Amino acid sequence: MNQKKPEHTTQRTSPNQSVELAVSILDLLQEPAFLLDESSHLIHTNPVAEEHYGATSRFGTGQDMGGLFHDKELFQSLLNRALEAGGVAIHDELTAIDRSGESVPVWATIKTIPVRGRKNCLVMSLIPKTRETRLLHNAREMGLRVENLYTTLAEVRAELLERTIQLGEQKNKMLAILRGMGDGLLVCDGSGGIIQYNEVAREVLRLPEGDLENRAVGQLCPELSQVLGISPQTGNAPMQLAREENFIVGNRELRVSIAPLYDNRERYLGLVMILQDRTKQAEIDRMKSDLISIVSHELRSPLTSIKGYIDLLISGDLGAVAEEHRKYLEIVLNNANRLATLIDDMLDLSRIESGKLTMIFGKVDIKYLCDFVYLTFKPQAAQKKLNFRLEVVEGLSISGDMDRLQQALTNLVSNAIKYTPEDGTVRIRAYRDNGNVCLEVSDTGFGISPENQRKLFQKFFRVKDRRTRNIGGTGLGLCITKSIVEAHEGEVTVESQEGTGSTFRIRLPEYHG
């Protein structure tokens, strides 16, 4: 006969059993303890609490325990903090009313405990504030603080270890980058002492072997210290300016790019320098300039002869020329003139770059300069039916080379007329601005894209556009203009928008006698 196997059952603790278990534990405590619900209503009082406060006889099960204290709001605040803490014991000082009606200072501790099937309950202990209990409470508080401090220190130690590892990795990466740089890197502090460098910088400056940190730049490389503005005699701090300069060390030509270094509070920390040995590059540049100069000179003589004979043929001095042949000769002459202009521009650029361009400075009357350029281009502007205007403030003058400034302004006006369609406007302005003289050439032409504006002053650069492909030019005019203006300690800028026009502005120091 088959016997039925007993079923395995899992015993679950009922809510009442959970409460009974908590009550049993409270009754074993040697200090006054209460079991409350989340609304501060009494569930149970242990014998020690009953002896001191007679809570059950005074309040009864289910009644609010707030009446046990002088300050009900302080008790409720302590209760709320215990509920928010979620199982962490909350301590505070309260004043309770014992069974005889007297006020008793107590140490109150409240902690939530989970009870299956219902909301959390709270266990509250009230220990009278005697000397012994104060010492015990202080010891508990100190123990908790030490435990919290130990936990915090462990977390800080772990974080410091992680940060140390990260800093080590970053330092290794930085050292790898410094070693892999093709240029020299040198970093100095606010007083000119070296704080970082790579081996390329040591080789470029021919610095001594050994550790260079904290050594003064002015003592190690006097040539560089002059560029930085450091006086070896006074040991003054370097100039806090971003700049790029060339200097000579021995028979080598070096270039240094200097940038000031600031912290996140904009406090000056020092300088970062990128060093390059340009000896070979400078020699190549000189060879290119010499080649351009020689070739241009050699081309000039036969070109002058070609132009002269073409002029003779067109003029008819050598005999009558058929009209059809005259057109062909005029085309040859126009291209010869373009070639002559290109040669002149190349010669000028070569002289400027090699420093051989001679300029004779004197007082330049701005009105005379602008009038000359305006009258030169007035017929050309009239031929294109342009609104050609001149606006010059009286009494303006600068110190400069008249011929070269005419060349710079001529380049700008020539471009404005060439790149402005018929019935457009070209305007020359001259005015005073904060101690400077501004020469401004604006037009209503095709305009220049932002991308092309960044390349506009490069050698041989021309805007590639279907509207401008048939307009002649060498691509050197703006480059030469920029070089001439910078030789006069000025600057040239451009503002342009496609389809609207462009404004080129030369800014030069005003002459003060």
Q: What is the pLDDT of residue 10?
A: 38
Is 324 inside a domain boundary? yes
Q: Are 294 and 307 in contact (CB under 8 A)?
A: no
Give the list of residues 6+ apart from residue 270 with CB closer than 8 angstroms, or none. Answer: 187, 188, 189, 190, 195, 260, 261
Q: Are residues 438 and 475 in the same domain?
A: yes
Distance from C-alpha of 50 to C-alpha of 63, rounded to nearest angstrom: 15
pLDDT at 268: 84
CATH number at residue 201: 3.30.450.20
Q: Are both 382 and 474 inside the same structural domain?
A: yes
418 and 488 part of one domain:
yes
Q: How far apart are CA 176 and CA 199, in angstroms?
A: 12
Same domain, 23 and 121: yes
pLDDT attached to residue 375? 93
Reported for 231-237, long-range contacts at CB under 8 A and 24+ positions apart, including other chains, are 235/191, 235/192, 237/190, 237/191, 237/192
Helix/strand/coil for 206 = coil
Q: In terms of domains, do 294 and 273 share one?
A: no
Could you give the CA distance from residue 427 to residue 416 in angstroms, rounded to a whole number? 9
Q: How many folded domains does the chain comprise?
A: 4
pLDDT in tens, the chain (513 residues): 444 444 433 344 455 666 777 788 888 888 888 888 888 888 888 888 888 888 776 777 788 888 888 888 898 899 898 888 888 888 888 888 888 888 888 888 888 887 665 567 888 888 887 655 556 656 666 666 777 777 888 888 888 888 888 887 777 777 777 676 778 888 888 888 888 888 888 888 888 888 888 888 877 888 888 888 776 555 566 777 788 888 888 888 888 888 888 888 888 888 888 888 888 877 777 777 777 777 777 777 788 888 888 888 887 777 787 877 888 888 888 888 878 777 777 777 777 766 667 788 899 999 999 999 999 999 999 999 999 999 999 899 999 999 889 989 998 999 899 889 888 999 999 999 888 999 999 999 888 888 888 888 877 676 666 555 556 566 778 888 888 898 888 999 999 888 889 999 999 999 876
Considering the domain architecture, whether residues 350 and 413 belong to the same structural domain is answered as no
Residue type, 112: T
Identify whether 308 is part of a domain. yes
298 and 382 together in one domain: no
First to last CA, the chain: 133
Q: Looking at the domain assignment, is residue 195 inside a domain?
A: yes
Residue 460 · residue 476 · CB < 8 Å: yes
Q: Is the alpha carbon torsion for 163, 164, 165, 169 positive or negative?
A: positive
**Other beta carbons within 10 Å of 249:** 16
**Per-residue confidence (pLDDT) for residue 204, from 0 to 100:** 84
Instruction: Please tell me the predicted confidence (pLDDT) of residue 473.
Output: 62
Task: Give the Cα separation of 417 and 413 in Å (integer).
Answer: 6
Residue 321: give its domain's CATH number.
1.10.287.130
Residue 444 shares a structural domain with residue 386: yes
Q: Are residues 381 and 505 in the same domain?
A: yes
Give the model's pLDDT for residue 366: 93
Which DSSP string do the residues of 231-279 spell out, in sequence order?
Answer: -TTTTPPPP---EEEEEEETTEEEEEEEEEEE-TT--EEEEEEEEEE-H
For residue 146, being part of any structural domain is answered with no
Q: What is the pLDDT of residue 412?
A: 92
Q: Which domain holds residue 349?
A: 283-354
Same domain, 101 and 23: yes
Residue where one domain finishes, among candidates 129, 158, 192: 129
Residue with the two structure tokens 């709270």: 122
Look at residue 6 and tell me if it is in a domain: no
Spell 308-328 as b/e; 16+ CB within 10 A means b.
Answer: eebeebbeeeeeeeeeeeeee
The pTM score is: 0.47
Q: Are residues 195 and 73 in the same domain?
A: no
Q: Among 424, 414, 412, 420, which residue's Cα sits nearest to residue 386?
A: 424
Residue 3 has a pLDDT of: 46
Residues 190, 262: one domain?
Answer: yes
Distance CA 230, CA 233 (A): 9
The verdict on residue 382 lying in a domain is: yes
Residue 505 φ/ψ, nearest 5 degrees: -130, 120
275-280-283 Cα angle (round to 5): 120
